[in-house]
A = this chain, B = another copy of it.
Amino acid sequence: MTKLYNVAVVGATGAVGEQIILQLEQSDLPIATIKFLSSPRSAGSTLSFKGKPVIVEEATPESFTAIDIAIFSAGGSISAELAPEAVKRGAIVIDNTSHYRMAEDVPLVVPEVNEDALRQHHGIIANPNCSTIQMVAALEPIRQQYGLKRVIVSTYQAVSGAGNLAIDELYTQTQAVLNNEPVEATILPSAGDKKHYQIAFNAIPQIDVFGEDDYTYEEHKMINETKKIMGDASLKVAATCVRLPISRGHSESVYFEIDEAGVSAADIKASLKDAPGIVLQDDPATQTYPQALDCVDKRETFVGRVRRDLDEPKGFHMWVVSDNLLKGAAWNSVQIAERLVALNII
């Protein structure tokens, strides 16, 4: 008989939480019971799961009694406080926040890249940053075949990465601009930072707050997480992260250099064509390339505009697009849960 699992979603009412619920509904994960948890503020509201109403409960240490899998997406401080409580009670935690990602004893997993790392878990498994996930998913099949020595990425990130309030802010500001009314900014670029700027019809080269080296934390995440997921501290990674007036779907302009010589763009495309989780959309003759709008609600990472650098024979460019709320967050988390079951880790 198939084992059934008790699953909890922490942060069920957030932008990512909503998508985790949808992904769980579509998943073949054998679920016995489901529990939706949130802050005291959102507790008491009713969501649905597979057609049945589920009342959202306040997340407390006791919420995790008898839970097998707890997917966290309620901010780093909640994960810091409650993930150890869930583990103490026997749950495996899949954490969407950045809190545990760089901890040495926490696997940071994109199943297409390093699902074997799941076997080393000590209760907590970290889900990488959205912009990291789609990039490593696209780079991994290339790295497998030709090696990888360097990555330089510039991102084109949707506001939904900053939550539901940021989506509201984009739409409200946009309507205000169209009406010639004053625009108010209170969320972006980073809710926790001092200044806020208009995102409607603008490009803001700041995501998350700045570190002391003048890189943003979002850029640090892409750099450090990529090295950890790929298990290659010597890999050169550079990132510039930019927020744009797009509601959903992150795009990335990725330059990369491989180890092997004599590789063509056609070879790179061939390595991507049947790679797991990747859809190659690359035909300039028919103007076929990935677009943010087209990736919404899809689990895959879309890759196009693959071409060799005109000066560097081992250098290539590509355009990588994925739904930041799905592969970038909710789907990757649920996929981790599915892999835990498939690999008999849970």
Residues of A within 8 A of B (CB): 150, 152, 154, 156, 171, 174-175, 178, 189, 193-195, 197-198, 201-206, 210, 213-215, 223, 236-238, 240, 242, 244-247, 249, 251, 253, 255, 265, 284-287, 289-293, 304-307, 309-312, 315, 317, 319, 321
Contacts and interface: CB of A to CB of B under 8 A. Distances in A.
B238 A293 contact: no
A51 B4 CA distance: 79
A174, A198, A265, A321 — most chain B CB neighbours (10 Å): A174
9 contacts: A152-B255, A154-B154, A203-B246, A203-B292, A205-B304, A213-B310, A214-B265, A238-B312, A242-B253
**Copies of chain A in the complex:** 2
B204 A291 contact: yes
A293 B206 contact: no
A237 B150 CA distance: 17
A263 to B, nearest CB: 15
A201 B317 CA distance: 24
Contacts of A244: 156, 203, 244-245
Given A154-B154, A178-B171, A253-B242, A287 B194 contact: yes
A210 B305 CA distance: 11
A240 B265 contact: no
Contacts of A319: 205, 240
B240 A291 contact: no
Contacts of A291: 197, 202-205
A138 to B, nearest CB: 14
Given A214-B284, A238-B312, 9 more contacts: A203-B244, A210-B284, A213-B307, A237-B311, A238-B310, A240-B255, A240-B317, A245-B246, A255-B255
A183 to B, nearest CB: 9
A164 to B, nearest CB: 16
A151 to B, nearest CB: 10
Contacts of A223: 310
A206 B238 contact: no
B305 A214 contact: yes
Q: Which 5 interchain pairs have the tightest Cβ spacing?
A: A154-B154, A236-B311, A154-B253, A210-B284, A240-B253
Contacts of A203: 156, 244, 246, 249, 251, 291-292, 321
A292 B244 CA distance: 11
Nearest to A213: B307
Given A193-B287, A214-B305, A214-B307, A201 B245 contact: yes
B305 A205 contact: yes
Contacts of A290: 205
A293 B202 contact: yes
A308 B74 CA distance: 34
A193 B312 CA distance: 30
